[in-house]
């Protein structure tokens, strides 16, 4: 390490220590003994930190990377706090910047992977995006981004190569089904609006709006779709917040305002010592306070999703259906440390209008903490009992669809997506019309057979363990008998799961032929939670009964 850097670090540490010492002296003139003890301990530990670093830097046998060393120390400190107080660097910081702006510079494509080499593949271009304007198509495989070979590049890491400043250009080398040579597309990046309402439409006479996250602009998107659905004469509205991790608090308040009158408290935040920081209230005219409303949630509905569903539940404005929410009721504020790094700090907790805490009791599930005083029962406007400290518990619990282990295994192996790519490459004149035909099912069955995938039943795994620990002849004979039964079960797995196989193939084919938005129509055909929500809206007696207090 250069001497100048060493001197800088030393002087910076010493100066910071002196500043804290001076602060300590100043504070001592006006503070209580408890505050004095705190600042005395702070000053002592800052000394400890810098003295330790100085000793290691001077005497450790190998050279020390100052940035990496300090960052590891900071991250270790943060790990002792809640899981959401974190350091944001690079792509993580960019993600939160995009969330705040509601847009980013890029080409506008949904991407995945396909083929045995897991190449980046265009799932669907976003409508009216640079990618759609130059002619990129679903199924196009991205072989190079500029001069960078995409082999081994995951869809998650691809964004740093595809995104960039508005007006800048990127060249994609594309492998396309039916083309003998690779194609080259020069694409000028533009502002891509984050699509937080990937689908809205009418399902069996009921309006349905899917919200994927809450960012800048989400509320206006939801309002536009809501007005359109109401104009079409729907019987009610279903707001789908399942798998929605949250986002901006202001967006959650604005969306709740669409269904509640002015001046209704939506959420309050409380910080250290339970002191009230701020109350958020509706401040605009609603779109409708009477249309029957059902909100769908599950264990992946968090933060802003819980603010919306919690407020709607507390005011008895709608029925919450599905599974218990995630239980993330902590408020984070982002503070810039420098141009490339920010610190996301938990500064408060969320409370619903009735006063209940959204945050579940434990930050970390492996630790059991004592029940805090705010884990109590509260009451909705009509007098229904709602629990605090448990996330949002639905008014009507409906389990989500669970795929069999066999289907889960095929999905994990990316079998459906890879088959779709292979099939369309070999059948370039095929026209998909919405239903998976029998010959397509047969080809998929042959494809799975040719893969020779090593799927094991749970009973097979247990038998394998039993074989290893027992040499008893009688046990071996029993194992052979059970193995024969397992083989019979495995031979029927494909046919036993045919309905799910056809549905998952239909989702992939629909996406390739008609775009990302159209796949939701297929996905919603086999959705128990959605079907129950529709049933509740159509049966007004059941709807209003769910909103009444239990005597």
Active-site residue set: 303, 314, 328
Q: How far apart are CA 126 and CA 511, in angstroms?
A: 12
Whether the CB-CB separation of 23 and 31 falls below 8 Å is answered with no
Q: How far apart are CA 298 and CA 282, in angstroms?
A: 25
Nearest to 306 by CA among 256, 231, 358, 380: 358
Displacement of CA 520 from its chain's centroid (Å):
17
* Angle, in degrees to the nearest 10, between helices 249-257 and 218-231: 20
Q: Which helix (H) or strand (E) holds 511?
A: helix 498-514
Euclidean distance between the first and the last CA atom of the chain, given in angstroms as a whole number: 74
List the structure tokens of 234: 């729907």
List the structure tokens of 197: 């309402």
List the structure tokens of 221: 């998107």
Nearest to 81 by CA among 346, 296, 277, 343: 346
Q: How far apart are CA 250 and CA 265, in angstroms?
A: 13
What SS3 class is residue 109? strand
Q: How far apart are CA 102 and CA 121, in angstroms?
A: 24
Whether the CB-CB separation of 27 and 36 falls below 8 Å is answered with yes
Could you tell me how many helices (H) and strands (E) the chain has, helices first? 19, 21
Q: How far apart are CA 509 and CA 199, in angstroms?
A: 17
**What are phi and psi for residue 19, nearest 5 degrees?**
-60, -45
Q: How far apart are CA 198 and CA 516, in angstroms?
A: 8
Nearest to 211 by CA among 526, 546, 508, 520: 520
Q: Which residues contact 62 (CB under 8 A, 6 or more apart)?
A: none
Nearest to 113 by CA among 451, 418, 412, 416: 418
Q: How far apart are CA 171 and CA 491, in angstroms?
A: 48
What SS3 class is residue 272? helix
């Amino acid at each position: 390490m250069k001497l100048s850097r060493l001197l800088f670090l030393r002087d910076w540490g010493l100066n910071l220590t002196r500043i804290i010492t001076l602060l300590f002296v100043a504070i001592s003139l006006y503070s209580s003994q408890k505050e004095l003890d705190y600042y005395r301990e702070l000053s002592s530990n800052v000394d400890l930190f810098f003295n330790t670093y100085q000793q290691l830097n001077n005497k450790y046998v190998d050279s020390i990377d100052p940035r990496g060393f300090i960052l590891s120390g900071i991250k270790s400190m943060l790990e002792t706090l809640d899981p959401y107080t974190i350091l944001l660097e690079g792509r993580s910081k960019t993600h939160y910047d995009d969330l705040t702006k509601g847009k980013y510079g890029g080409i506008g494509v949904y991407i995945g992977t396909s083929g045995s080499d897991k190449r980046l593949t265009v799932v669907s271009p976003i409508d009216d995006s640079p990618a759609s304007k130059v002619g990129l198509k679903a199924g196009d495989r991205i072989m190079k981004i500029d001069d960078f070979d995409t082999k081994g590049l995951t869809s998650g890491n691809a964004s740093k190569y595809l995104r960039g400043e508005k007006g800048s250009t990127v060249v994609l080398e594309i492998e396309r089904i039916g083309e003998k040579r690779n194609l080259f597309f020069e694409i000028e990046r533009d502002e891509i609006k984050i699509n937080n309402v990937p689908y809205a439409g009418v399902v069996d006479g009921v309006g349905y709006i899917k919200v994927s996250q809450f960012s800048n602009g989400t509320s206006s998107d939801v309002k536009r779709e809501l007005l359109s659905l109401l104009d079409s004469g729907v019987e009610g509205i279903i707001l789908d917040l399942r798998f929605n991790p949250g986002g901006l608090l202001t967006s959650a308040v604005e969306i709740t305002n669409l269904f509640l009158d002015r001046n209704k408290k939506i959420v309050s935040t409380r910080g250290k010592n339970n002191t009230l920081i701020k109350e958020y209230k509706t401040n605009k005219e609603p779109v409708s306070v009477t249309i029957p409303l059902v909100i769908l949630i599950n264990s992946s509905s968090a933060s802003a999703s819980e603010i919306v569903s919690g407020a709607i539940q507390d005011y008895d404005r709608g029925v919450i259906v599905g599974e218990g929410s995630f239980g993330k009721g902590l408020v984070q504020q982002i503070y810039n440390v420098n141009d490339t790094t920010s610190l996301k700090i938990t500064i408060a907790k969320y409370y619903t209008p009735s006063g209940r805490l959204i945050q579940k009791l434990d930050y970390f599930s492996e630790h059991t903490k004592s029940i805090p005083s705010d884990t109590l029962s509260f009451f909705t406007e009509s007098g229904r009992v709602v629990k605090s400290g448990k996330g949002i518990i639905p008014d009507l619990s409906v389990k989500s669809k669970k795929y069999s282990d066999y289907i889960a295994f095929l999905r994990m192996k990316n079998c459906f997506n890879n088959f779709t790519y292979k099939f369309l490459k070999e059948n370039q004149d095929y026209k998909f019309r919405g239903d998976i035909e029998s010959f397509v099912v047969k080809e998929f069955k042959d494809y799975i057979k040719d893969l020779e995938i090593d799927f094991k039943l749970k009973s097979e795994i247990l038998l394998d363990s039993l074989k290893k620990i027992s040499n008893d002849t009688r046990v071996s004979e029993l194992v052979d008998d059970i193995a024969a039964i397992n083989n019979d079960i495995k031979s029927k797995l494909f046919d036993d799961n045919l309905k799910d196989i056809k549905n998952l193939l239909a989702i992939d084919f629909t996406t390739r032929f008609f775009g990302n938005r159209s796949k939701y129509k297929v996905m919603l055909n086999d959705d128990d939670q959605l079907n129950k929500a529709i049933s509740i809206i159509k049966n007004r007696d059941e709807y209003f009964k769910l909103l009444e207090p239990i005597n």
